[in-house]
């Protein structure tokens, strides 16, 4: 997978469905509407990585139709591209989208107009989202759904803000009932909302941030989480890790700790409770 980017194209039976991107070392995130509503016999898809051109088999793991989100498991993944750092966005920040449906499509960028904003998506649920102002007035942004929204300043470290799901339709004064795809306002779901929507992210997304996430340490952690619930000692450690992570999130929201320090502390919690610390206590 050398040279591959972390964003992908998703297809089924040779038909392109939409965009997605690696959220962890084993999951691709996309917009649910890209996969279609009829789930009978449609769980198997192909994942094509940009840059490297590698095509892998994937299977839809979780669907959240009302939130317009879906996760795809990619079991054949032997290594992962470099993933950007999951980051909270701020209003007024620049954003960019590194994905293009084809080489004849424009790259998108702009300014984050509002975040967090509660947005009711077409699926029906109210979501924590980002309202994006887009510089490129394409009229119709079909094909970009499911792609990543990154930090947009050239001197930024690589930052991942969320997943693009919808274009806000422009309504004209002479006909309020007829939306037309002419608005340059887009909506993206925050990563915080994504992690809340899928139960597999209570600790899994943190494990993926471990320095050797493609190696034995992450494998050990996933192995421990996957053990039967009868292992009361392990379940106690998982519960303790979850409680510590929730407390750290609360302190960050109150401004007591900065984001970078909180991320480091979360990883230390996982190392202690699921991988074993320097003393080997949990290994």
Terminal CA-CA length for the chain: 31
Q: What is the pTM of this model?
A: 0.70
Do 29 and 20 form a contact (C-beta atoms < 8 A)? yes
> How does pLDDT run across 98-148, given as a tens digit for each residue?
999 988 999 999 999 999 999 999 999 999 999 999 999 988 898 999 999
**Residue 192: pLDDT band with limits 50, 70, 90:** confident
CB of 187 within 8 A of CB of 254?
Answer: no
Q: pLDDT higher for 200 or 203?
A: 200
Q: How many residues does the chain have?
A: 283
Beta bridge partners of 133: 111, 185
Structural domains in the chain, CATH included, are 7-73 (2.40.10.10), 85-196 (2.40.10.10), 202-275 (no CATH)
pLDDT, tens digit (0-9, with 9 covering 90-100), for 26-65: 789 999 999 986 665 568 999 998 765 788 999 998 999 9
Distance, C-alpha 241 to centroid of its chain: 22
């Amino acid at each position: 997978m050398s040279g591959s980017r972390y964003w992908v194209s998703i297809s089924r039976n040779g038909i392109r469905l939409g965009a997605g991107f690696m959220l962890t070392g084993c999951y691709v995130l996309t917009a649910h509407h890209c996969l279609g509503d009829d789930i009978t016999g449609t769980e198997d898809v192909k994942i094509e990585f940009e840059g490297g051109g590698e095509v892998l088999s994937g299977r839809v793991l979780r669907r959240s139709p009302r939130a317009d989100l879906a996760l795809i498991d990619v079991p054949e993944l032997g290594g992962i591209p470099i993933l950007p750092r999951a980051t909270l966005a701020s209003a007024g920040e620049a954003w960019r989208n590194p994905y293009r449906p084809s080489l004849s499509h424009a790259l998108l960028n702009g300014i984050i107009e509002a975040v967090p904003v509660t947005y009711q998506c077409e699926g029906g649920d109210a979501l924590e989202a980002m309202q994006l102002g887009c510089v490129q007035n394409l009229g119709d942004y079909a094909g970009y759904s499911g792609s990543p929204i990154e930090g947009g300043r050239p001197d930024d470290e690589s930052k991942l803000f969320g997943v693009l799901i919808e274009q806000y339709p422009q309504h004209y004064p002479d006909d309020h009932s007829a939306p037309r795809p002419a608005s340059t306002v887009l909506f993206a779901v925050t990563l915080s909302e994504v992690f809340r929507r899928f139960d597999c992210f209570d600790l899994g997304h943190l494990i993926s941030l471990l320095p050797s996430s493609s190696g034995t340490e992450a494998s050990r952690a996933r192995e421990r989480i996957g053990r039967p619930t009868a292992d009361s000692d392990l379940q106690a450690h998982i519960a303790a890790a979850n409680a510590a992570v929730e407390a750290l999130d609360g302190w960050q929201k109150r401004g007591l700790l900065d984001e970078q320090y909180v991320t480091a502390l979360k990883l230390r919690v996982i190392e202690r409770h699921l991988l074993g610390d320097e003393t080997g206590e949990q290994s």
